[in-house]
Amino acid sequence: MSKKVRKVRPVGTLGIYIGSGMMAAMLLAGLLIPLFGKYDANEISADQIMPPSRDHLFGTDMLGRDIFARVFDAVFIDIGTAFAGVLIPLAVGTIIGTLLGISRNRKFNSFIGSLIDGINAFPFLIFVIALVAFLGAGLGSIILALSLVNWARYARIARTRAVVVNQQGYVEAARTLGYKPTRILFRHIIPNVSSETRAYALSDFIIVIIAVAALSFLGLGVNPPQAEWGAMIKDGANIITLAWWSAVFPGLAICWAGISVAVFSEGLSARIGEGNQR
């Protein structure tokens, strides 16, 4: 019987493709448009507050700058800040949480544990705003503030997971084989703990993209001439009744970035979920 075997596409593949495609398109546009675009992001190229036209696809802002150029000039500023603001706490939180999970000192463990709970008790955005206030506005302090706040969330996840991983057979086996503790930690425990924290990092990435823009929207982000989505929305909000385009296009850029991550992570979790259950 020569029945053709139908290729079964795993669940969620479409989501993974669409999500990564959307993100890749945005990053590519963020790379190419500032290089080869018609206008410079900070160049006053037309009259103020011009509606979208063929020459200025997204219109111009209140200073007469091309919004199309500015939206794509901000891609790497926004995505890059959010990326650093996720990666640093992911690494720090995973390592600290894992060490707590495998340590046997109960007093120390519950002491740091309650500190982690204390940090997590603050509303995320409020704590970041307060830290940025003390560190001074700017992208560097936004990344630092995000790291100082978010490591505790990763640490909590990692700690719970590390307690489980630490009792698994393969860790016991590695111990019996007499491997060095550092090797067991980095080769056997952390990779298995971080599968969980990395999954959280993906959904955290969306929250952080929005938070970075929100901080700039509140005036705590970039310094003025630099194009940044939140700051552009803030400028546009003042003239929104006159010129809807000045706030709507940067807003759509944030949505595009967030949705690409959301679709990607939805596809990924559908695929992982399928693997686990069936």
Partner 1 sequence: MASSTIDPGAPADEISAEQRVPDKNRIALRRTLLGRFIRSLVVAFWVMFIAFSLLRFSPGDPIRLALGTDATEEAVAEMKQRYGLDQSFFVQFYDYFTGFFSGDLGTSFFSQREVTEVIAMHLPVTLMIILLSMGAAILISIPIALSVALSRRASITYFFRTSTSISLAIPGFFLALLGLLLFGTVVTWVPAAGYEGNFPSNLKYLWLPALVNCFSLVPILSRVLHSSLMDTLDEEFVETGVIRGVGKLKFYWSYMLRPSLAPTVVLVSYMVGIMIGGTVVMEMIFSLPGIGRELIEAVSTRDYAIVQGIVMIFGFIVVFTSFIGDLLGYLLDRRVTLS
Q: How far is the CB of 110 from partner 1 (least distance, A)?
A: 9
Write out the binding residues for partner 1, residues 8-37 only, by CB under 8 A: 15
Candidate list 131, 139, 144, 232; residue touching partner 1; CB under 8 A: 131
Taking the alpha carbons at both ends of the chain, their separation in whole angstroms is 28
User: Percentage helix, strand, coil, to 5, in the chain?
Assistant: 75, 0, 25
CA 121, 151, 27, 20 torsion: positive or negative?
negative
What amino acid occupies position 99?
Answer: L
What lies within 8 Å, CB to CB, of 201 at 6+ separation is 86, 87, 90, 154
Please work out the total of residues on this chain that contact partner 1, with binding judged by CB under 8 A: 50
Candidate list 92, 163, 259, 272; residue touching partner 1; CB under 8 A: 259
Query: According to the binding rule CB under 8 A, does residue 219 interact with partner 1?
Result: yes
Judged by beta carbon, residue 69 or residue 132, the one nearer partner 1 is 132
Q: Which of 259, 255, 251 is nearest to 235 (CA)?
A: 251
Judged by beta carbon, residue 25 or residue 173, the one nearer partner 1 is 25
| R_g over Cα of the chain | 23
> Could you tell me which stretch among 77-85, 90-98, 111-119, 169-177 binds partner 1 (CB under 8 A)?
111-119
What pairs with residue 60 in β-bridges?
66
Q: How far is the CB of 202 from partner 1 (least distance, A)?
A: 11
Query: According to the binding rule CB under 8 A, does residue 179 interact with partner 1?
Result: no
What pairs with residue 65 in β-bridges?
44
Interface residues with partner 1 (CB under 8 A)? 15, 114-115, 117-119, 121-127, 129-136, 206, 209-210, 213-214, 217-220, 230, 233, 236-237, 240-241, 244, 247-248, 251, 254-255, 257-259, 261-263, 265-266
